[in-house]
Amino acid sequence: MLFSPAVAHDEHFLSRLSRVDDARVELAMSLYHDPGLVRAVLERSELPPGAERCALALGPEDRGPYVVLARSGHFVTCLGEGMRTSDLPIISLAKLESIATRVETLRERMEIAKRTAPDQSHEARLVHRITTAGPAWSREEFITALTWMPVVASAWYKRFIEYVRTVDKGLPTLARGDGPLGLREGLAKVVAEAAWGLLHLGTLLFADERVMKTTLADSGARAWAVALATIPFDHFEHSGGAIRFIHGLARIGRPMADLFKSSGDEPSRWLVLQGVARAFPELETELLDLLDREAPDQPKHRGYDVVVESAISLGRTVATRRLVDAHYEPLFPNAEDVPEELAVPMLASLDLGVDAHNLVSYILFPMIAAARGPAEKLYLPAEYAKHLWAPSLTTTGLSLAERWRKRFVTREPAQRKDEPGRNAPCPCGSGKKYKKCCAGKTPPG
C-alpha cells in the first residue's frame, strides 16, 4: 500500500476543497494546519461513542459547507453548502469559535510560562516559589502554575492538605512561646511558607474548572469546599488572601450559592453569597434578598459602581505605601499616579501579618470589584510585584502566631498560694511529683 489511510484521507480532503467557497477555504486550511486545535475541538465536542467521523460546520449548521473529520483528527473530505451530512454528528461554527478562543488563551498562557520559567522543568521548583514568594508571587507566575494544573492537580491537592496541617499544628506551638528563640524563628518560617502555600494552591485549585467540577460532584467534597472557605478567617483573620479564596468560591456560581445558603459560618458565608451575586447577575436579587432576611445587620451592596470606586481608591492608597523602589522610596508618591488595574490586586497582596480591620473595605469591596474577572487578575504583574514591600517569612510567622494567641489562648487560672508547682515534690511525702500524685485531689479534712 503506497499511502497510509491517514495520508489518503488528507489527499482526498485537499482534492475536495473546490466544493467550498473561497471565503471559507482559508478557515478550512487554517484548521488543517492546526492539529492541536482540531484535537481540542474533537475532545471537547463530546461525540457519540460510536461515531468515527463528524462534520465540522464552516457556515450555518443546517446548510454548511462542512469539513468531515475522522475521530483521530484526520481530514476526510469537504461537503459543499447544501450537501447532506447523512447521520454524521455536526459540530457547529459557534462551538468551534468558543473552543478556539479557549485554546488560544491557553496558548498565550503557555507562552508566558515559557518566558517566565524556561528552566522550571521540575514541579518542585514551582512549589518552592509558591511557598517562598509570599505576597510577591506574580500574575505571570500564577499563569505558569495554572498551565501545570492538568498534570499536577492531584499532587498539589495533597500538598495543600499538608500545608493546612502544618499551619494547624505550628501556630499553637508558636503561640505558646516554648523553646529557644532560634527554634521558634525556624518554626515561624516553616509556618509562613505553609500559610502562603495553602493560600496560593487553594487559589489555583479554585481556578481549575475540572478540579472544582469533580469536587462539587461529591457530597463529601462539597462539605470540604464549605470548610475551605473558613480557612482565611480561622488562620489569618481578615488578610488579603481571603479575597482570592472567596473569589474562587464565588466564581463557581449556582452550585456554590446553593451550598452556602444552608451551610457555612460567618463571615465566609456572607462574603461568598455576595460574591456569587456579583459574578452572576441572574442570581443577584435572589441572594441579596436572602441576606436581607437572614443577616439584616450585615452590609449588602447593590450599587456596584460605588463599591468598585471605593476599592480602587483604597488600593491606590495602599500602593503608595507598599510599592517601593530599591531605596525604599515610594514607587508612586501620589495615589492618583497608581494605575487603576493595580488597585484590587494590591489589596489581595497584603501580607498575612496585616489584619484588614475593616472587613467591608479591605475584603468585601475588592472581592466584589474582582468577581467577574479571572483569578490571575488578583495578582500583581511581575514588574510591580518585585517592588512589593513585605516583612520576612519569619516575621510573618511570628505575627500570625501572636494574633492566633490573642484569639484562642486563654490564660491559666492563678495558682493558689498554698499549692505547690506541678513539677515540685508532692507535700504528702510520697517522693513523686505533685502533678502525678495529689494534684487535683480534694485535700483531707
pLDDT per residue as tens digits for the range 99-129 = 887 777 666 665 665 555 444 455 778 888 8
Q: Return the number of other C-beta atoms located less than 10 Å from residue 138's C-beta.
A: 23
The answer to whether residues 59 and 27 touch, using CB atoms and an 8 Å cutoff, is no
Same domain, 228 and 259: yes
The span from the CA of 28 to the CA of 38, in Å, is: 11
Is 428 a member of any domain?
A: no
pLDDT at 253: 80
Q: Is residue 420 part of a domain?
A: no
Over range 70-92, report the average pLDDT: 89
Domain shared by 73 and 133, yes or no: no
Tell me, yes or no, whether 66 and 184 share the same domain: no
Question: Would you say residue 382 has pLDDT above 60?
Answer: yes
Q: Are residues 123 and 42 in the same domain?
A: no
Please write the tens of the pLDDT for every residue from 333-347.
Answer: 999 999 999 999 998
Q: What is the rounded average pLDDT for all residues in the chain?
A: 78
Residues found in the chain? 445
CA dihedral 307, 311, 313, 314 (to 10 degrees): 130
Mark whether 201 and 133 lie in a shared domain.
yes
**Domain extent at residue 350:** 119-403
Residues 153 and 92 in one domain: no
Domain assignment of residue 437, yes or no? no
How far is residue 392's CA from residue 434's CA, in Å, rounded to a whole number? 43
In a domain, 113, yes or no: no
Cα distances (angstroms) measured from residue 45 to each of 55, 100, 168? 11, 12, 44
**C-alpha to C-alpha distance for 180 and 208, rounded to whole angstroms:** 42
CB count in 10 Å sphere of residue 270? 21
**33 and 152 assigned to the same domain:** no
Judge whether 377 lies within some domain. yes
Q: What is the pLDDT of residue 118?
A: 41
Decide if 74 is inside a domain: yes
Domain identity same for 49 and 181? no
Predicted pLDDT at 334 = 94
151 and 282 fall within a common domain = yes
Check residue 102 and give its pLDDT: 73
Q: Over pLDDT 90: what percentage of the chain? A: 15
pTM of this structure: 0.64
Residue 7 banded pLDDT, cuts 50, 70, 90: very low
What pLDDT does residue 117 have?
A: 46
**CA–CA dist 263, 249 (Å, integer):** 14
Count of structural domains, the chain = 2
pLDDT exceeds 80 at position 239:
no
In this prediction, residue 223 has a pLDDT band, given cuts at 50, 70 and 90, of low
pLDDT of residue 23: 73
- Are residues 52 and 146 both part of a single domain? no
Cell numbers for 195, please give them: 500559610
**Is 51 in the same domain as 163?**
no
pLDDT at 444: 43
